[in-house]
Amino acid sequence: MSFKTAFFKSCRAFGGLARRWQEFRHGKGTFSSPTGSGSQEDNTMYPEEEPKKPAEIRWLIPVEIETGRHMRRVVHGPMEALNCLVQQWPQREGSHYLNAKQRCIDSMNRVCSAELAREAFINASLEALVAIRPVRPPQADNTAADGGSTA
């Protein structure tokens, strides 16, 4: 008895898994998971689920960084910060760098706050000697507070 035959005989205990696998391999049917996700049109063993996109989380005060000569970028949240850390960061080692990466991931997964990720990103910037500065929102017009009079 070959290994394949022995394997399929042992699979009988799992509710006809071997038969369903054979039907799937030969295109005669679909292979559905125990949850029942499989259809005649979808002839894949495990249909790919659409990746879940984390909601865009934004910091209260964005951070502007300068990673190189005349290369400035405004970072608005943990997703952008993680992108900077992975793709544009000059120094990819150090405890603050690793902590910032983990905090950004945790923040996107809602394990920690976005402001904690921002703080870790700023610490990683200081560790890598990346110039940073907070981005202030534009000031409101003072004429609206005066009632709109111009004297």
Classify residue 13 by its DSSP letter. Answer: G
Token pair for 65: 């960084």
CB 58 within 8 A of CB 104: no
User: What are the tens digits of pLDDT across the range 131-143?
Assistant: 998 888 766 555 5
Domain ranges for the chain: 1-49, 63-134
Cα dihedral value 78, 83, 86, 91, nearest 10: -70
- How many other CB atoms are found less than 10 A from the CB of residue 17? 15
pLDDT of 149 above 70 = no
pLDDT of 59 above 70 = yes
Q: Give the model's pLDDT for residue 71.
A: 82
Model confidence, pTM = 0.57
What is d(CA 150, CA 8) in angstroms, rounded to the nearest whole number? 88
Amino acid type, 115 = E
CA 143 to chain centre: 43
Q: Give the model's pLDDT for residue 39.
A: 46
CB 117 within 8 A of CB 78: yes
Task: State whether residue 132 is helix, strand or coil.
Answer: strand
Q: Which of 35-39, 56-60, 79-83 has the lowest mean pLDDT?
A: 35-39
- Greatest Cα pair distance, the chain, in angstroms, is 101
User: What are the tens digits of pLDDT across the range 10-55?
Assistant: 555 455 555 555 665 666 555 444 554 444 444 444 455 555 555 6
Q: Give the model's pLDDT for residue 114.
A: 93
User: What are the tens digits of pLDDT across the range 90-124?
Assistant: 888 999 999 999 999 999 998 999 999 999 999 99
pLDDT, mean of residues 68-77: 86
Q: Phi and psi of 143, rounded to 5°?
A: -65, -30
